[in-house]
Homo-oligomer: A and B are copies of this chain.
Amino acid sequence: MTDVAKRAGVSAMTVSRALKADGAVSDRTRLRILQAVDELGYVLDQTAGTLSSKRSGFVAALIPSLNNSNFSDTARGMERALEQSGLQLLLGATDYVQEKEERLAEAMLRRRPEGIIVTGGEHSPKLRRLLQGAGVPVVETWDLPTDPIEHVVGFSNTGAMRALVQRLYALGYREIGFLGGASPRDSRGRARCRGYKAAVAELGLPADRIVAFGEAPSSMDHGSAAMAQLMAHWPKVDAVVCVSDLVAFGALMECQRRGWAVPGRIALAGFGDFEVARCSHPRLTTVSVDSTGIGMTAGALLWRAIEASRTGTRLAAERHVIPYDIIERETT
């Protein structure tokens, strides 16, 4: 910065001002400075700026998986919400591993984010302590924790799956199975499984038609394998709900390979409204969640909270419930 200052014939302080959008610098001076910046290929050192201004200029977001359109849509939503804020979004993927989530959170906190967004409402005591001690706003997403850390933007996974089973009941299905949801790593998957159990219990349907598999992320292959098991154990099942669309798609393909007509012989429904659910043949019935909206709401909320803390106030904890929608397509 001193080099740039010399070249432009000003002080370093003036260069610093010229490089901020709001800096009070005359147009002529700024032009000279920007030219010097360009000639020298100078790139501002934000590390030093962070240290002296106590503003790192980024927020951290922890998501379970990059390669999941729900979460990547949420990430894009956050990015969009933060576009005008001057805050960069730094993403970390936890791969559904709690220990990795902790490590990542600590790595992020060492860089002093101005706010943090995490996925889900279940965290290890250590992570909770870490987040609460960070002294920056925290948003939990994709769930409605009963004891939130601070802000929440999400929906009830249990409720959504319960509603899906009730819809299938209304369509006339009476022996409904469930695929997935036993992973100790995926609390949303477990919540959906609980929703299934609650619904079949309320409706007086047989409640044991579950093929639980423990891995997360759940995949198409899981769906195919689980469907094969379900067919073998409970051949009279007339509908199957799945922890995600990927699982439902795998189940659909398995049905096609075995000549089980969908929805004639068996109905299928997924969760998440992934692209493959929209494009498959037949198209999959699913629960659509506004993933992008979760991200935009969470990002905007975090921004407001950060702005508030900059003026010395603290935004009161907010709780945003995002609606979901059951989309009936061709598999029910």
Q: CB within 8 Å of B: which residues of A?
A: 41, 43-48, 50-51, 56, 65-69, 72-73, 75-76, 88, 90-91, 93, 95, 106-107, 109-112, 129-130, 133-134, 219-221, 223-224, 246, 249-250, 253, 256-257, 275-276, 278-281
Contacts and interface: CB of A to CB of B under 8 A. Distances in A.
Q: Tell me the number of copies of this protein.
A: 2
Highest count of chain B CB atoms <10 Å: which of A75, A76, A110, A257: A110
Contacts of A279: 220-221, 223-224, 249-250, 253
B43 A134 contact: yes
A266 to B, nearest CB: 15
B280 A112 contact: no
A80 B90 CA distance: 19
A46 B111 contact: yes
Contacts of A130: 41, 43
Contacts of A256: 281
A67 B56 contact: no
A63 to B, nearest CB: 9
A43 B106 contact: yes
A80 to B, nearest CB: 11
Given A46-B112, A47-B50, 14 more contacts: A43-B109, A44-B110, A47-B56, A48-B51, A66-B66, A66-B91, A67-B68, A67-B69, A67-B73, A88-B107, A220-B279, A221-B278, A221-B279, A250-B279
Contacts of A73: 67
A47 B111 contact: yes
B253 A41 contact: no
Q: Which 3 A-B pairs have the closest CB atoms?
A: A67-B72, A220-B279, A46-B110
